[in-house]
A and B are shown apart, each in its own frame.
Chain A
Amino acid sequence: MWKAGGARMRVFISGGCKNGKSYYAQRLAHAMRRTGLYYIATMRPSDVEDHERILRHRRERLGWGFETVEQPENIPEILDKCDPDASFLLDSLTALLSNEMFPPGKAAINYGAADKITGEMIELLDSVRDIVVVSDFIYSDGLLYDGPAEWFRRSLAQIDRAVAARSDAVIEIVFSGAVVHRGAERLRREGLLPAGGAA
């Protein structure tokens, strides 16, 4: 079972939209808590709808023991605000990339955002003890993109793969269920995998 003094655990979660990734990630991060539990909120609100969404998400997390830290960019700054031995949930890489690649009030797209975030995420993963990182699987639709949209996909995949490569467990969420691509044995041993299934 999950122990206060056990080995560190870094988990990468991705999957299609509205498949239940955030809920799964919250359950997992909650199960992984040892001391503190931080929710790294990445969305940068731009209108009333966004503010309402953020309030709704905050209400949903009430009672789970998360301390919410707003960090829509420059992600290693959370290391100055948080105890690195706590457990973290970062949701999502997609929002982080969007914030950094399309800076507010500036016309220029930052095509170097992926390199910046990749470096920052490696620093974060090397610094914190336990973390769950959520991203979005946007790579299998039947369209051919060009310009910024294709660069966004390429950029997110670069960050995803760097984070996944350094993660102890890699999970694809399919309609609330987990397909475990790495770390199934350890997740099960430590009581971090729902019962049943073929994973």
Chain B
Amino acid sequence: MKLIVGGEYQGKLDYALGRFGLAPGDVWFCEYAGARLNTDKPVIYKLERWIFDALRAGLDPDAELEALRPGLRDKIIICTDVSCGVVPADPERRAWREAVGRACARLARGSDEVVRMFCGIPTILTQWRDEG
């Protein structure tokens, strides 16, 4: 599993498609796609939007990701970093922001590579991997 994170519009998808020689048809777009995470395609894009829909449907994103774990092993997961702003006043947004952070930190520990994009430039991050 590879995890690509970074702010909005920093070139995360362009990087994934370019580096792995993929096309938009290889991408599952989570935005407006509902609370079920589809793992049929090699790239899962905008995971933060799936997390939003999952929370709204009453699901626990961490538990869902854990159940999907075997199917995620060969995926490239792309998630926007939404962790750096003011704490949102709206409780739903607050819960979402925290869930995205937790999910990314956890996915990162299970990934063989984590990349952070800044203005189109990748940085490979290092982290303690989950054991086993």
Residues of chain A having any CB pair with chain B under 8 Å: 12, 14, 16, 137, 139-144, 153-154, 157-158, 160-161, 164-165, 170, 172, 181-182
A139 and B9: CB pair below 8 A?
A: yes
B7 and A164: CB pair below 8 A?
A: no
State the interface size on chain B (CB cutoff 8 A): 26
CA of A142 to CA of B52, assembled, Å: 12
A140 and B119: CB pair below 8 A?
A: no
Task: State whether A14 and B119 are in contact (beta carbons under 8 Å apart), knowing that A139-B7, A142-B96, A161-B11 are contacts in the complex.
Answer: yes
Residues of chain B having any CB pair with chain A under 8 Å: 6-11, 52, 80-88, 93-94, 96-97, 100, 118-121, 123
- Contacts beyond the supplied A143-B93, A157-B10: 7 A-B pairs with Cβ under 8 Å: A140-B82, A142-B83, A153-B8, A157-B8, A161-B120, A170-B119, A170-B121
Q: What are 26 sample pairs from A and B whose C-beta atoms fall under 8 A apart?
A: A16-B84, A139-B7, A139-B80, A139-B81, A140-B6, A140-B7, A140-B83, A140-B84, A141-B86, A142-B82, A142-B85, A142-B93, A142-B96, A143-B82, A143-B88, A153-B9, A154-B9, A157-B9, A158-B9, A161-B11, A161-B119, A164-B119, A170-B119, A172-B118, A181-B119, A181-B123
Residues of B within 8 A of A153 (CB): 8-9
